[in-house]
């Protein structure tokens, strides 16, 4: 049987080893890993920092010994791969414990070396109190430092998912937290107006968020005291660097492997690299987008596991392919969750789709059930094929459910029409009689069919509401500067409002505006728009005089 050498032992590496040994117990499977831990739960680290998980052992999924005994694979720790020779089919390895150099031959080599935190070459990054957030040791260091130094303020550099999770958990520990990002938004992958909604929520929850802000240096003598940015100095007893990750593939240059710009290795659907008998999976590999078929880097534990499983089957000789990722993500923020999958509006337009979108606010469970709240959902679809392309959801409830429905639909290439009357699960503690996914989808379909005429939050942010006569359709007047109309009392044209006047209808969540729009159409109004997401998602308009 074959000699399979696996470089790296976290998610993808251990998955390949375990599954391959189950399928071919004869195979000689060796994991070589630089670290002492294997198979740790990187995604759990923010919660370990926040003492949501108190027991360090819990985030170590398996020890090398236990894993080896259970699977039959060998695990050699403290081994850093330094060279791969594809002609000789050997890997040169530094034994970090003994300081020696070892050579390992292979019949098949799996590169699963993962990725490491990007630490910028910047003044102050070497100070005490500055931590990346990638390994259990990073989390241990941060926890201990906060305790020892009684840290009160934290700056998290990087507004991605891990950064935001760390921010929530540091806040839970009582620190005043600022999240900063060079990008114009946090929550990468969300469209800007949705990310702006998320940002406003974070600020409401007491986390400062600075976007389009450049970190210039970390200040302090021996330990971090602040972060100097192009917008000013931020106090910071601790600094967490969550600036992204870089594939651990530097040792592979000049081997003939093909790399993406960030250093990740291109693989095909069978996880094969450009070199014979060399495979890659996990954070160090580039796969494809299941929708667009374009290459996509998806450094997620979930993708790593799927890739590892497929690769094990390929190595075992099974006909198997990995169809690609959708870029799904979910994150818990303070008091709210956020999730997305598929293409966002910008990406869908860039690929050339004829994009339609809608932003909907609706109940996440029966409105009378305790804990009921709202989802804010953006759906993205293609006008031509009517295919659902993506979803973005915020809310304190089960945003993951909304996204998982969309993942299933997009994976199967569903059109919005096919999804119209799905018999989704309903009982008051879980959902609404008209499922929130269906509710949002119905509104998208109304829009695509021309029944709903609306302005998106993105358009509204671009000031496209300028020149519209604003009508407040809320149950109780919410916009003192605007005309207030009770939809229940409209039984003819509105006094003093011409039928061809451009009218923007705004209410609390959007439903009453839609009701009024339908009625106004009946009375001859031809130029009304419902503001999608209404006051729930959008900032109230400035007084009309100012706007004009």
Residues carrying an active site annotation? 43
Q: Please, which residue, 246 or 435, has the CB nearer to a copy of itself? A: 435
In the complex, the smallest distance separating the C-beta of residue 29 from a copy of itself, rounded to whole angstroms, is 14
* DSSP summary character for residue 540: P
In the complex, the smallest distance separating the C-beta of residue 11 from a copy of itself, rounded to whole angstroms, is 7
Helices 11-23, 64-71: inter-axial angle, 10-degree rounding: 20
Concatenate the DSSP letters of all residues of 242-278 into one string. Answer: ---EEES-GGGTTSS--B-TTSPEE--TT-B-SSTTE
227 and 219 in contact (C-beta within 8 Å)? yes
Q: Please, which residue, 52 or 82, has the CB nearer to a copy of itself? A: 52
CA 227/CA 323 separation, integer angstroms:
43
In the complex, the smallest distance separating the C-beta of residue 161 from a copy of itself, rounded to whole angstroms, is 7
CA 48/CA 160 separation, integer angstroms:
18
In the complex, the smallest distance separating the C-beta of residue 539 from a copy of itself, rounded to whole angstroms, is 27
Q: Please, which residue, 266 or 369, has the CB nearer to a copy of itself? A: 369
* Encoded tokens for 187: 């929550």
In the complex, the smallest distance separating the C-beta of residue 429 from a copy of itself, rounded to whole angstroms, is 5
CA 327/CA 481 separation, integer angstroms:
42
Residue labelled with tokens 């990054």: 125
∠512-515-521 over CA atoms, to 5°? Answer: 135
In the complex, the smallest distance separating the C-beta of residue 43 from a copy of itself, rounded to whole angstroms, is 5
How far, CA to CA in Å, does 499 sit from each of 446, 523, 527, 548?
22, 8, 7, 20
Nearest to 529 by CA among 544, 514, 519: 514
Q: Please, which residue, 15 or 89, has the CB nearer to a copy of itself? A: 15
Q: Please, which residue, 93 or 306, has the CB nearer to a copy of itself? A: 306
Q: Please, which residue, 346 or 366, has the CB nearer to a copy of itself? A: 366
Q: How many CA atoms lie within 13 A of 15 on its CB side?
A: 21
Nearest to 335 by CA among 143, 99, 515, 164: 164
3-state helix, strand, coil in the chain (%, to 5): 30, 30, 45
In the complex, the smallest distance separating the C-beta of residue 125 from a copy of itself, rounded to whole angstroms, is 27
Q: Identify the bridge partners of residue 380 per DSSP, sorted by sequence position.
A: 357, 390
Q: Please, which residue, 70 or 233, has the CB nearer to a copy of itself? A: 70
298 and 260 in contact (C-beta within 8 Å)? no
18-31 core/surface letters (b: 16 or more CB in 10 A; e: else): bbbbeebeebbbbb
Residue labelled with tokens 């990740």: 264
């Amino acid at each position: 049987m074959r000699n399979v050498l696996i470089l790296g032992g976290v998610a993808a590496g251990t998955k390949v080893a375990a599954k391959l040994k189950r399928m071919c117990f004869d195979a000689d499977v060796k994991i070589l890993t630089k670290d002492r831990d294997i198979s740790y739960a990187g995604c759990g680290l923010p919660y370990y920092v926040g003492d949501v998980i108190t027991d360090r052992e819990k985030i170590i999924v398996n020890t090398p010994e236990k894993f080896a005994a259970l699977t039959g694979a060998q695990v050699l720790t403290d081994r850093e791969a330094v060279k791969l020779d594809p002609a000789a089919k050997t890997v040169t390895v530094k034994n970090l414990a003994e300081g020696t150099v070892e050579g390992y031959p292979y019949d098949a080599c799996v590169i699963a070396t993962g990725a490491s935190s990007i630490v910028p070459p910047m003044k102050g990054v070497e100070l005490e109190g500055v931590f990346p957030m990638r390994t259990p040791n990073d989390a241990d260091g941060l926890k201990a430092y906060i305790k020892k130094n009684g840290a009160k303020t934290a700056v998290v550099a990087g507004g991605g998912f891990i950064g935001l999770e760390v921010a929530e958990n540091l806040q839970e520990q009582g620190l005043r937290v600022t999240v900063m990002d060079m990008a114009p938004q946090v929550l990468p992958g969300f469209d800007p107006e949705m990310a702006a909604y998320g940002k406003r929520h974070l600020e409401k929850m007491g986390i400062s968020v600075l976007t389009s802000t450049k970190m210039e240096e970390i200040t302090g003598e021996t330990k971090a005291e602040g972060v100097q940015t192009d917008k000013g100095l931020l106090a910071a007893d601790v600094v967490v660097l969550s600036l992204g990750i870089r594939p651990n593939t530097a040792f592979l240059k000049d081997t003939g492997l093909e790399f993406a710009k960030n250093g990740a290795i291109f693989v095909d659907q069978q996880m094969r690299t450009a070199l014979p008998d060399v495979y890659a999976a996990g954070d160090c590999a580039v796969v494809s987008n299941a929708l667009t078929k374009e290459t996509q880097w998806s450094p997620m534990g979930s993708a790593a596991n799927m890739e590892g499983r497929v690769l094990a089957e390929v190595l075992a000789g099974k006909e198997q392919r990995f169809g690609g990722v959708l870029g799904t993500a979910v994150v818990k923020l303070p008091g709210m969750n956020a999730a997305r999958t598929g293409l966002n509006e910008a990406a869908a337009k860039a690929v050339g789709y004829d994009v339609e979108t809608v932003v909907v606010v609706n109940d996440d469970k029966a409105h009378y059930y305790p804990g009921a709240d709202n989802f804010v959902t953006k759906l993205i679809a293609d006008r031509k094929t009517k295919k659902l392309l993506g979803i973005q959801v915020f809310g304190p409830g089960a945003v993951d459910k909304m996204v998982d429905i969309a993942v299933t639909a997009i994976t199967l290439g569903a059109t919005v029409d096919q999804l119209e009357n799905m018999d989704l699960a309903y009982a008051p503690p879980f959902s609404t009689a008209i499922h929130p996914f269906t509710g949002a989808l119905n509104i998208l379909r109304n829009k695509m069919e021309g029944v709903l005429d609306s302005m998106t939050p993105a358009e509204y942010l671009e000031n496209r509401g300028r020149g519209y006569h604003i009508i407040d359709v809320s149950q109780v007047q919410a916009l003192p500067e605007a005309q207030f109309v009770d939809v229940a009392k409209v039984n003819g044209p509105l006094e003093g409002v011409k039928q061809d006047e451009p009218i923007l209808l705004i209410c609390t969540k959007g439903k009453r505006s839609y009701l009024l729009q339908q009625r106004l159409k009946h009375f001859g109004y031809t130029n009304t728009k419902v503001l999608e997401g209404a006051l729930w998602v959008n900032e109230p308009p400035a007084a009309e005089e100012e706007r004009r």
